[in-house]
Amino acid sequence: MKIMNLARWSKHLKRLWGQNPTARRPCSLAACAITNRYASLHPLWQSPLTIPGGSRQSPINIQWSDSLFDPRLEHLEIRYDPATCLHMWNNGYSFLVEFEDSTDKSIITGGPLENNYRLKQFHFHWGAVSEWGSEHTVDCKVFPAELHLVHWNSCRYGSFEEALMEENGLAVIGVFLKLGAHHSGLQKLVDALPLIKHKDAIVELEDFDPSCLLPSCPDYWTYSGSLTTPPLSESVTWIIKKKPVEVDEDQLEVFRMLLFTPAGEEEKRMVDNFRPLQPIMDRTVRSSFPTNHRLKVLPRCEEDIDRAHNQATHQDTAHL
């Protein structure tokens, strides 16, 4: 695998700013008929970024009926210490909440994991409108937003940076957000977002417990995949929660007020910061619950998945 150094990657991004949007997000029930939903994609997601020869890229469409119930999958044990929360910052692609990770104070274990994984950060992906925004989809259903809690294997590796590129190095919990009731736990983050409107802005955030963002239902899907932003390393055990959490439209609107750009530059709204779906290839998605229910799949969505697979097979790649 070739790793693009920081200078080359910076040059690559600057070149992409001048390109017209060419990304395609297939597989959406409500949004399939809307042709302009890619207009605001950040350049990071406009180009056909792939790992050369990669076979475990993320995100994917989870086919409910095709997932394999694995009775050996235990409940995921989650222990987060709110005191390890450090700060929240705008990194130009999303907003991240980062945690102190020198000890096992905030960890997950069990489920599909053989070791303890320490919480490093969490962030969100969302759309310009609530008809789309999530990275993963379920039976072609897309959600307004998706939460990712990123953990690293502290038993096998000495740091997040080391685990980032290694086998079984990372574990990411994915949680879908859907429109519904006001989310009181999320509101603490929403209230702080105006302070980090511009890229590179940072604000301290104390005593935040991210478990308040998780659904009470323990059911999940799991599969082997990758990061959805560079370096796109195939080091991730994904744990996608079956049940979404509810947030209200006003809270998501504050997400959309953030900017991709630093202060002083032309403002570019931080919306549609998701990576398009990737081919599942020969991977198996396992579930911790019996798969005796399936969402309705529209034929158009199935066609789009096939088209995404064909495009991924033939498109040029950026060596990362």
CATH of 6-314, one of 3.10.200.10, 3.40.190.10, 3.90.1150.10, 3.40.50.2300: 3.10.200.10
Give Cβ neighbours of residue 69 (< 8 Å, ≥ 6 apart): 286, 287, 288, 289, 290, 291
Rounded distance between C-alpha atoms, residue 89 and residue 225, angstroms: 26
CA atoms within 13 A on the CB side of 96: 15
Rounded distance between C-alpha atoms, residue 161 and residue 231, angstroms: 11
> What integer pLDDT is reported at residue 11 of this predicted model?
43
Rounded distance between C-alpha atoms, residue 256 and residue 252, angstroms: 7
> What integer pLDDT is reported at residue 4 of this predicted model?
39
> What integer pLDDT is reported at residue 291 of this predicted model?
80
> What integer pLDDT is reported at residue 296 of this predicted model?
41
Chain position carrying tokens 């395609």 = 24
> What integer pLDDT is reported at residue 9 of this predicted model?
40
Query: Domain spans of the chain?
Result: 6-314
> What integer pLDDT is reported at residue 42 of this predicted model?
59
> What integer pLDDT is reported at residue 86 of this predicted model?
98
Give the predicted TM-score (pTM) of the model.
Answer: 0.81
> What integer pLDDT is reported at residue 12 of this predicted model?
41
> What integer pLDDT is reported at residue 40 of this predicted model?
55
Pairing relationship of beta strands 286-287 and 68-69 according to DSSP bridges: parallel
Per-residue pLDDT of the chain (320 residues; tens, 9 = 90+): 333 343 444 444 344 333 333 333 433 333 332 344 455 555 665 555 556 568 999 999 999 999 999 999 999 999 999 999 999 999 999 999 999 999 999 999 999 999 999 999 999 999 999 999 999 999 999 999 999 999 999 999 999 999 999 999 999 999 999 999 999 999 999 999 999 999 999 999 999 999 999 999 999 999 999 999 999 999 999 999 999 999 999 999 999 999 999 999 999 999 999 999 999 999 999 999 998 755 444 344 544 444 444 444 433 323 22
Pairing relationship of beta strands 117-126 and 137-138 according to DSSP bridges: unpaired
Rounded distance between C-alpha atoms, residue 160 and residue 94, angstroms: 19
> What integer pLDDT is reported at residue 114 of this predicted model?
95
> What integer pLDDT is reported at residue 8 of this predicted model?
46
